[in-house]
Amino acid sequence: MGPTIDSAKCTKCGGCVEICAAGVYTQKEAKAVPDVVNASICIQCGHCLMRCPTDAISVPGLSPDQIHELGRLPEVDEMANLLRGRRSVRLFSGQKVDRDTLEKVISLAAAAPSAHNDRTTEFVVIQNPETIRLVEQYTTEAMQKISSALDDSARALFERVIEAQRAGRHRILHEAPALIAFHGQRDNQLANVNAQLCIENAMLAMYGMGLGGYYCGFVTVMGHLDERLLKLLKIPPDHELFGVLTIGYPKTKLTRWVERKPRITWD
């Protein structure tokens, strides 16, 4: 079953036909009620619901209470401050992040675009201090196992991190109070891309909410090499770990930004 149109509510404006990239709707003539001709290819993106001025369209899987009015959009300078000001944070205040705040970050992360609107990304939140300790331990042990096979530069980096961990200096998770793991189906070719888009959304949301964190590449990469990490992070057997973010309140806040010079090729 696909989308339906209530002809009594429909204004026959054709907006749903115009905005649907999939071609679910057609309008045989101007000022006619559109027909649903390709219901099976509807991806439940919700564009038609947002476009319809009279709420005449129903889409299975999308309820009316999922459609909301946008508030004021940020001015370009405000958006520039958000994008330029976001930095990786590895110095945390020690303040815990409450569940409501974590859920809001994930809700904003999940608002990221995804290929074919598949919404493949799933999330695991880790707050248990013992689990976080074990994530560091297993990551350190996995790094130690492969360090000898790395080139000189990478081996030197691994050895510095391993030595710091042994000395009780937390150079993998930096005493972050919480982690968010992003994962999805291994056999979906675009699940990784979808997850990276969610991760970027999450990092921007964190910064805008006064939080901070960083993409923990050590845990993400070692998770591909050590099954214990995947089990600890509750990643299902048919899923792949695509990224891990630390999250917490920064101990210090930066008020300046570093200019980045983009490399551009014009045609």
CATH classification at residue 98: 3.40.109.10
CB neighbour class for 163 (10 Å; exposed up to 12, middle 13-18, buried from 19): exposed
pLDDT on residue 63: 87
Q: Do residues 96 and 28 share a domain?
A: no
- Indicate the average pLDDT of the chain: 96
166 Cβ contact list (under 8 Å, min separation 6): 140
**Domain presence at residue 8:** yes
Give the mean model confidence (pLDDT) for residues 28-57.
95
Q: How many domains does the chain have?
A: 2
Q: Is residue 160 part of a domain?
A: yes
Percentage, residues of the chain above pLDDT 70:
100
Question: How many alpha carbons fall within 13 Å on the CB side of residue 73?
Answer: 5
Q: Is residue 84 a part of any domain in this protein?
A: yes
145 and 193 belong to one structural domain: yes
pLDDT per residue over 53-74, tens digit each? 999 999 999 988 899 999 999 9
Does a structural domain hold residue 261?
A: no
Give 205-237 pLDDT, tens digit per residue: 999 999 999 999 999 999 999 999 999 999 999
Are 136 and 62 within one domain? no
Confidence at residue 64, expressed as pLDDT on a 0 to 100 scale: 83
**17 shares its domain with 123:** no
Domain around 10: 4-66
Q: Is 188 inside any structural domain?
A: yes
